[in-house]
Amino acid sequence: MSENFAYPVGLRLSGRRVVVLGAGQVAQRRLPALIAAGADILLISPSATASVEAMAEAGEVRWERRRYQEGDFEGAWYVLITTDDPEANAAASAEAEARRVWCVRSDDAEAASAWTPATGRSEGVTVAVLTGQDPRRSAAVRDAVVEGLRDGTLAAPRHRTRGPHVALVGGGPGDPDLITVRGRRLLAEADVVVADRLGPRDLLDELPPHVEVIDAAKIPYGRFMAQEAINNALIEHAKAGKSVVRLKGGDPFVFGRGMEEAEALAEAGIPCTVVPGISSSISVPGAAGIPVTHRGVAHEFTVVSGHVAPDDPSSLVDWAALARLRGTLVLLMAVEKIGAIAATLVAHGRAADTPVAVVQEGTTPAQRRVDATLATVGEKAAAEGVRPPAVVVIGEVVALSSRDHR
Ligand SMILES: C[S@@+](CC[C@H](N)C(=O)[O-])C[C@H]1O[C@@H](n2cnc3c(N)ncnc32)[C@H](O)[C@@H]1O
C-alpha cells in the first residue's frame, strides 16, 4: 500500500455540514461544486474574495467573519482548509483528525487526510482524476477525458438503452470542424446516420464500420414524398432500437425542414433532440470575408429563400419590401433565380450598382466567390458557371472585402 494511493469515492453531501476555512482563490474555486452538491456549507474567514462574498449574499453559504476556533468542526462531515495561516491550518487539521472528519488542505497535501480530484462533467458523467502530487497532470488528464467525451473522439457508448431516440443535428456549412461539439459526440454514438448532400460529409468517413450511413437523397420513396420517406426511415430505425442521427447541413431549422421531421417523430411518439448548427447564411459569407453586419454600414441582415421566382404566385416573399431595406440581404437556394430576383429588387428601388457576392461551396476546399452588382449578377453567375450550393450576399457589406475579388 502506498502513501500516495488514494481511495476514490463520491461523497453525497446534500444537507450535510461542510466547513470551509478561508475564503480566497482556492475556496472560490471549490465552493461552486460544494454548492452544486447541496452541502450545508459553513464558511469561516475574516475576509473573502468578491465572488465568495456574492455566494454568501445569495445565501449559498453561511459565512462567519472570524478566524478558526477549536470546535468549529462539530457536526461536520468534510472540511476544507484553505487559509494561509500555517498554525491555524495545523490546529484545524489536528481537530479534523481527532474528530475523524475527512480534511483537505490546500497548503500541505501530505498533512491532509483527503485530496480533491480534478473534476469535470459531460452529459451526466463525472470525471474525477487523482495523480498523487501532480495537480497539473490531473487537470490535463481531466481535460483530455472531458473533451474527448464531449466531442466524441473518446468513444463511450451508452449501454443502458434510452429507448427509441433521434437527434436532428445541424452539421454546419461543410467544413468538418464547423459542427458543434454536441453534434460531433452524438454522431460518434450513432448506430444509424441519415445524411444530406450538404453539410460535413467528411465526418461520415470517420465513423466506425458498424455505423449504417444512409444517403437521404437515395432513400427509395415510391408513392411517398421524399420527405415522408426520410421521416419513415428515421422512425423505423429508432423503433428498431438504434441510436439515430439525422445529419443536416447548416442549422436544422433554417430552410432545413427540421420541424417537419421533429413533428413526424413526435407524432410517432419518438423523442427527438435538436442540436443547432452553424447556418450557411452567416458562416459562408463570413468564410468569404463578408460580415453580414458592419458598424455604420448595415444594421440588419435578412435571410431569404430564393428557390421560388419573385413572380410565382406561390412565393411567400415580399420582394418589394426587401428592395426598400438598406441592410444586407442573404439569399439561399437562389442560384437558378438570381437574375430574376436581382431585376425585381432593382425594379422596386434598390440601386442597380449595389454590390453582390455569390459564394459557392463555402468553407470547403472548393469554395469560390464571384463578385458582381445587382445589374450584372444574373449574367455573371451564369457566365462563370456558378452552381449550387451557393449563398448570395447583397449589400454594401460586400464592398468591405471585395477589392481582391472584382
Ligand atoms: C436547403 S438549404 C439548407 C440551409 C441550411 N439549413 C443552413 O442553415 O445553412 C440549402 C442552401 O443552403 C446554402 N448552403 C448550404 N451550405 C452551403 C455552402 N457550404 N456554401 C454555400 N451555400 C451553402 C445554399 O444556398 C443551399 O442551396
DSSP H or E run through 303 = strand 301-305
pTM: 0.75
Distance CA 237, CA 245 (A): 10
- 6, part of any domain: no
Q: 34 falls in which pLDDT band (50, 70, 90)?
A: very high
Quote the cell numbers at residue 223: 408513392
SS3 320: helix
- Claim to verify: residue 355 and residue 287 sit in the same structural domain: yes
249 lines ligand 1 (CB under 6 A): yes
- Claim to verify: residue 373 and residue 317 sit in the same structural domain: yes
pLDDT digits (tens, 9 = 90+) for 80-111: 999 999 999 999 999 999 999 999 999 998 89
- Claim to verify: residue 271 and residue 285 sit in the same structural domain: no
- 9, part of any domain: no
Atom of ligand 1 nearest to the CA of 253: 6
How would you label 155-181 residue by residue, b for 16+ Cβ within 10 Å and e otherwise? eeeeeeeeebbbbbbbbbbbbbebbbe
**5 vs 316, higher pLDDT:** 316
Q: What is the CATH number of the domain that holds 21?
A: 3.40.50.720
Q: Which of 60, 36, 33 is nearest to 48 (CA)?
A: 60
ω into 313 cis (within 30 of 0) = no
- Claim to verify: residue 265 and residue 172 sit in the same structural domain: yes
Residue 208: other Cβ atoms inside 10 A: 8
Domain extent for 346: 281-400
pLDDT digits (tens, 9 = 90+) for 283-319: 999 999 999 999 999 999 999 999 999 999 999 999 9
- Claim to verify: residue 140 and residue 170 sit in the same structural domain: no
DSSP H or E run through 118 = strand 118-122
The residue nearest atom 10 of ligand 1, judged by CA position, is 333
Last residue of a domain, one of 95, 128, 156: 156
175 lines ligand 1 (CB under 6 A): no
- Claim to verify: residue 36 and residue 107 sit in the same structural domain: yes
SS3 113: coil
Q: What is the CATH number of the domain that holds 214?
A: 3.40.1010.10
- Claim to verify: residue 224 and residue 269 sit in the same structural domain: yes
Atom of ligand 1 nearest to the CA of 359: 21
Q: Which of 60, 70, 65 is nearest to 36 (CA)?
A: 60
Backbone phi, psi, residue 368, to 5°: -140, 155
- 12, part of any domain: no
Last residue of a domain, one of 138, 156, 174: 156
- Claim to verify: residue 184 and residue 208 sit in the same structural domain: yes
- 301, part of any domain: yes
DSSP H helical segments within 37-179, as ranges? 50-57, 86-99, 135-151
Q: Is the dihedral of CA 181, 183, 184, 186 positive or negative?
A: positive
- Claim to verify: residue 205 and residue 185 sit in the same structural domain: yes
Domain count of the fold of the chain = 4
**Distance from residue 242's CA to the centre of ligand 1 (Å):** 28
What average pLDDT does this structure show over 16-35? 96
**Distance from residue 362's CA to the centre of ligand 1 (Å):** 9
- Claim to verify: residue 172 and residue 71 sit in the same structural domain: no
SS3 338: helix
Quote the cell numbers at residue 100: 475523524
DSSP β-bridge partners for residue 273: 167
Backbone phi, psi, residue 239, to 5°: -65, -25
E-strand stretches of 316-388: 328-332, 355-360, 368-373
- Claim to verify: residue 228 and residue 176 sit in the same structural domain: yes
Distance CA 135, CA 137 (A): 5
Q: What is the CATH number of the domain that holds 365?
A: 3.30.950.10
* Whether the Cβ atoms of residue 6 and residue 115 lie closer than 8 Å to each other: yes
Phi-psi region of 71 (alpha: psi -120 to 50; beta: other; left: phi over 0): left
* Whether the Cβ atoms of residue 390 and residue 341 lie closer than 8 Å to each other: no
Q: Which residues contact 296 (CB under 8 A, 6 or more apart)?
A: none
Atom of ligand 1 nearest to the CA of 362: 20
Q: 270 falls in which pLDDT band (50, 70, 90)?
A: very high
- 406, part of any domain: no
- 123, part of any domain: yes
Q: 1 falls in which pLDDT band (50, 70, 90)?
A: very low
Whether the pLDDT of residue 71 is over 50: the answer is: yes
Backbone phi, psi, residue 121, to 5°: -130, 145
Q: Which of 288, 275, 278 is nearest to 166 (CA)?
A: 275
- 49, part of any domain: yes
- 8, part of any domain: no
Last residue of a domain, one of 231, 252, 275: 275
- Claim to verify: residue 286 and residue 366 sit in the same structural domain: yes
Distance CA 364, CA 249 (A): 13
Distance CA 88, CA 95 (A): 11
